[in-house]
Amino acid sequence: MARTMSRPLGLATSLLGLGFAVAGFDKLVGVTPYRNLARHWGWSDGDMRALGAAELAGGALVAWHPTRRLGGALLAAASAAALVEELQHRDNELALPRFGLFTAAMLATIGPL
């Protein structure tokens, strides 16, 4: 049986995409906790919104089979950028979950979770 291009992805991959998309949207609209975190890192509002746009786009892309790998790569890159800042600023309580998200995003590039 041939695999179709619209094959649904695993539940975990869909939830990963949804979680990133929601977090990205929150950054795009400037929700206060994200705005405060960006300031703590020395980021501008534009930097925060760029991260949010990457998360929103990556979350949407990872939910559709033909663009899953691109979405996973975009999410991994966004997570890596945030993880670097969290480690540099010793935000250890954020870094461990972020590493998990980074790992999940990398796994999304090779197949449904």
pLDDT digits (tens, 9 = 90+) for 67-108: 999 999 999 999 999 999 999 999 999 999 999 999 999 998
Higher pLDDT, 111 or 82: 82
Around 10, how many Cα atoms within 13 Å sit in the side-chain half-sphere? Answer: 11
pLDDT digits (tens, 9 = 90+) for 40-71: 999 999 999 999 999 999 999 998 888 999 99
pLDDT score of 1:
40
> Six-digit token pair at 1?
């049986």
Report, in angstroms and rounded to the nearest whole number, the Rg of the chain calculated over CA atoms: 14
> Six-digit token pair at 12?
């975990």
Q: Are 103 and 3 in contact (CB under 8 A)?
A: no
Residue 110 scores a pLDDT above 90: no
pTM, whole model, 2 decimals?
0.86
Place of tokens 């449904």: 112
* Helix pair angle (45-62, 68-88), 10° resolution: 150
Q: How far is CA 49 from CA 26, 55, 57, in A?
A: 9, 10, 12
Residue 111 scores a pLDDT above 80: no
At residue 5 the predicted structure's pLDDT band, cuts being 50, 70 and 90, is very low
Q: What is the DSSP letter of 63?
A: T
Position 40: which residue type?
H
In whole angstroms, give the CA distance from residue 61 to residue 70.
7
